[in-house]
Structure 1
Amino acid sequence: MGEPVDPQNPEFIVAFLNAIDFELPNNYLIELPTHADQVFDFEEGKYLELWALVDLIKINHDYNADENYPGFFLIGTDDGGEACAIEKKTGSLYIIPFIGSLPEDAIFVGNSFQELMEYLNQPW
């Protein structure tokens, strides 16, 4: 078994940034959970699970994200058929359907994690 990955290790960060095909906004490295998924359970039944940074490359590969969600990088799920994703071109955050049509069905939720949280705190 290999050594555990330390996502706060500068070498891991450099390898992660080199492995993705877009420029990740700097503040996202601070906001994304590093070791374990982070769950947000909001009033009104809204829910978001942000996947751990150490798992993002594999998850995007497993979902065949480049083909199925072109222009987006998946970072989490609402466990209800939708993903939370970063638009590669702009760095903006979207809720996108796991099954649907992009970009028509993509819902813009903000330009930062703070705006994402504000969106999720709004009533249905």
Structure 2
Amino acid sequence: MSTNFQKYLKSLDLNDPADPNVIRNVEDQLGFQFPIEYVNFLLHSNGGEGPIGENYLKLWRVDDLIEDNEGYSVEEFAPGLLIIGSDGGDTAYCIDTRSKEMPFVSMPFIGMDLDEVEPCGPTFNECLKILYTELNDD
């Protein structure tokens, strides 16, 4: 299992690992498989939160993804995106399922719209790296 993400998440308060059966059940309900790096993260930690570089990151538990996305009406306002976490404020971090590569993107919670989507990294690890190193100019 690749754990390249660990170096970026050293300061986060991480949850216990997700149950592989729960991951598969959520994937089945959503109708797609998560990117492998994200699955590897979930098998290491079922979400968590804390500082990442000079930013803040809250990654949601896999068992909360469906209910939380429904609560934010993501399918209505930004169909094809799956929110997996946030910056603890007004920015949502998502998997973009509209593309077979399923890159990671960000968008605002307020004014949620596909026109507001910004690339955050082609893979989970790359997204974490960008959050850790490159978004420190806020």
User: Scaled by the length of structure 2, what TM-score is found?
Assistant: 0.72
Pairing partner for 1:61 from 64, 67, 70: 70
Query: Identity rate of aligned residues, in percent?
Result: 28
Q: Where does residue 116 of structure 2 map in the other structure?
A: 105
Shift, 1:94, TM fit? 0.6
Aligned residue runs from structure 1 range 13-52, under 5 A: 13-32=23-42, 33-34=45-46, 37-44=47-54, 46-52=55-61
Q: Give the alignment's Cα RMSD to 1 decimal.
A: 2.0
Q: Closer, same or farther in 2 for the Cα pair 1:112/1:84, shift >3 Å?
A: same
List gaps (5 residues or longer) in structure 1.
1-5
Conserved 8 A contact 1:49-1:76: yes
Between the aligned partners of 1:116 and 1:9, the Cα distance in structure 2 is: 23
* Count of paired positions: 115
Between the aligned partners of 2:111 and 2:128, the Cα distance in structure 1 is: 24
Between the aligned partners of 2:23 and 2:115, the Cα distance in structure 1 is: 33
- Which deviates further from its counterpart, 103-112 or 72-81? 103-112
Q: Closer, same or farther in 2 for the Cα pair 1:55/1:104, shift >3 Å?
A: same
User: Scaled by the length of structure 1, what TM-score is found?
Assistant: 0.80
Conserved 8 A contact 1:51-1:76: yes
Shift, 1:7, TM fit? 3.9
Structure 1 segments of 4 or more deviating over 3 A?
A: none
Q: Which amino acid aligns with 2:108?
A: P
